[in-house]
A = this chain, B = another copy of it.
């Protein structure tokens, strides 16, 4: 997949010709290409929320993120990264799912990503609830555990629910560590907050070696030092960016299943993401956008914009790897 890139790359529809409200909405108004070998970065929807223990709705996330991604333009105004110059990017459509059978859904999702990974494409996904990250990891991190920059209100390292259920959107990263997919020592969690079930809730995250930056610590550290700490933890190895929109305050992202007040602002989130440029980023996702709870549409707009921010990082990382 180390093909040359440039002006023949897929390009978004031009908003000075086709207005933003026009045309069938794909991610970033890019072409819909189903063949992963034709892209460097694959934008993928995972319309599934079968792991949700409280308010469902993230199954509708990909459609509304696609809708709102029509607002995105072509160049990042701060980093000046032009992702469609640096990489071949397209909308690969949605991963297959099963809304009524959790275990089957996990398999279908993994299978889809395995093909994308085999084709050498880097996945950037729109969830869906946070459990989707587990089958993605199973597809892309089989050979060696990866690091992760994880934005979230919740650690998602719980053990089980409703008796003995191991797989919910509250458990993916415990499972990922247990399965050897995620390296906890190269994992940083940012924005964690909210009341807890017991004093032991964070035990797994902390004992396994994850670096947990609670919202309160973030408020003290500020953006720059948090970036430095995240970079220190992730190091040089392959790293994934997983962004649960409930890491942001629900004034900005009301459309999510488990909102917690007192979160990040979107400006802070953007600054944090921009600080990750230069890491060896190999994938990313934006999850837990839940349109039925998103009356203003702002959550989907935040989701689309964060996808664009991560896309710029991935395109830059992709170009760096090509030029190495």
Contact = CB atoms under 8 A, between A and B. Distances in A.
Given A16-B162, A59-B21, A162-B17, A301 B196 contact: no
Interface of A, secondary structure class, is: loop
Interface residues of A, number: 98
Nearest to A94: B22
Interface in A1-47: 15-26, 32, 45, 47
Stoichiometry, as copies per complex, reads 6
A217 to B, nearest CB: 10
A265 interface: yes
Given A91-B24, A252-B251, A298-B250, A267 B76 contact: no
B24 A24 contact: yes
Contacts of A21: 47, 54-55, 59-60, 63
A204 to B, nearest CB: 15
Contacts of A100: 50-53, 102, 161-162, 165, 167-168
A320 interface: no
A11 to B, nearest CB: 12
B262 A266 contact: yes
A82 interface: yes
A295 interface: yes
Contacts of A323: none
A320 to B, nearest CB: 20
Interface in A157-201: 160-163, 165, 167-168, 192-199, 201
B198 A24 contact: no
Interface stretch (A67-75, A116-124, A133-141): A67-75
Given A22-B45, A24-B24, A102-B100, A261 B266 contact: yes
A96 B196 CA distance: 23
A292 to B, nearest CB: 4
A127 interface: no
A270 B262 CA distance: 7
A258 interface: yes
27 contacts: A17-B96, A19-B99, A21-B54, A23-B47, A23-B93, A25-B25, A49-B56, A50-B100, A51-B100, A53-B100, A71-B259, A73-B195, A74-B197, A74-B198, A76-B196, A77-B196, A77-B201, A82-B199, A101-B163, A104-B162, A249-B251, A250-B298, A251-B252, A252-B261, A255-B296, A259-B298, A292-B293
Interface of A: 15-26, 32, 45, 47, 49-57, 59-60, 62-63, 66-67, 71-78, 80, 82, 91, 93-94, 96-102, 104, 160-163, 165, 167-168, 192-199, 201, 214-216, 219, 249-252, 254-255, 258-263, 265-267, 270-271, 292-293, 295-298, 301-302, 305, 308
